[in-house]
Amino acid sequence: MSKDRFDIHQHLTDRIVLAIEAGAGEWQMPWHRGSGGRHPVNIASGNKYRGVNVLGLWVDAQVNGYSSHLWGTYRQWADKGATVRKGQKASYVVFYKEIEVKADGDAENDSKRRLFARATPVFNADQVEGFDNATVEAAVEELDSVDSFIARTGATIVHGGSRACFIPKLDEIHMPKRASFTGSATSTAAEAYYSTLLHELTHWTAPAHRCNRDLSGRFGSDAYAMEELVAELGAAFLCAELGVSVEPRPDHAQYLAHWLTVLKADKRAIFTAASKAAEASVFLSGKGA
């Protein structure tokens, strides 16, 4: 197999690292800028992209200035009567296919199943001609009340003090009072409160009886920082689902060096973090449905 074969893991990791580095001076991540507030949707199925594909498409939309949240392959756009403009550069999404391979053992029928990543080129609605952006909506309905969504998770939330955190020993989320949150250039005071609470709710899913998320075996001494990345991504995914603008967290400045070091050393690290974040958001959405 050619050594020059396209590596989707490295490609997406490099794009995300560059985007993180571009916003580090303002303590903003890729999901705080550009179209990070809207969930990318496939034009053919109307389904929302999941996991690392959400992050990858957010990054490319931001870098290229795309305003639409709609994406599709060349053929999918053609099926809609639209044409990808000549010279447009594709973005990539990754899908995993399970195949059966022969194991290393001596048994004649000894085989195992492995996941292989498949990269698929897609184009944003801003890159095509002959399509009306306003005619397509996501197949999944947006949740109509953030408060009711949070209440249905069953998490114990204690208001008071000046720090937002999840306390595993008590199995409680502690939040400052709503009145202590202020708005910013990117979000209202209410959105700042909700995005912070959704971050802590993602932490709340970590224990064994929920999502059983233990990153120490994969990331060692960087596990705590990577759990913060999972929570940050989980909050971003949930905010996109609920229509809430994500508030940048200045306290994450202390984790940026860890995140960039791990991502640069391990091209699959962001895939793991995004997968765990997606798992947490699905768990919370199931309880909050």
- CA Rg, the chain, in Å? 20
Q: Residue 184: what pLDDT? A: 73
Q: What count of other Cβ atoms lies within 10 Å of the Cβ of residue 162?
A: 8
Are 285 and 239 a contacting pair, CB within 8 Å? no
Residues 6+ apart with CB under 8 A from 50: 278
More reliable by pLDDT, 209 or 286: 209
Please, what's the b/e burial string for 138-161 (b: 16 or more CB within 10 A of its CB; e: otherwise)? Answer: beeeebeebeebbebbebebeeee
Q: Which residues contact 151 (CB under 8 A, 6 or more apart)?
A: none
The larger pLDDT score, comparing residue 250 to residue 201, is at 201
According to DSSP, residue 176 is labeled: -
**pLDDT confidence of residue 229:** 93
Predicted confidence (pLDDT) per residue in 255-279, tens digit: 888 898 999 999 999 999 999 999 9
pTM for the whole structure: 0.83
The count of other CB atoms within 10 Å of the CB of residue 225 is: 19
- The rounded distance, in Å, linking the Cα atoms of 148 and 98 is 38
Question: Tens digit of pLDDT for each residue in 169-202?
Answer: 999 999 999 999 887 766 788 888 998 999 999 9
22: tokens are 């571009």
Among candidates 80, 84, 118, 81, which has minimal Cα distance to 98?
Answer: 118
pLDDT beyond 60 at 138 = no
Could you read off the pLDDT of 52-111 as tens digits, one per residue? 999 899 989 888 888 889 999 999 999 999 999 999 999 999 988 777 666 665 555 555
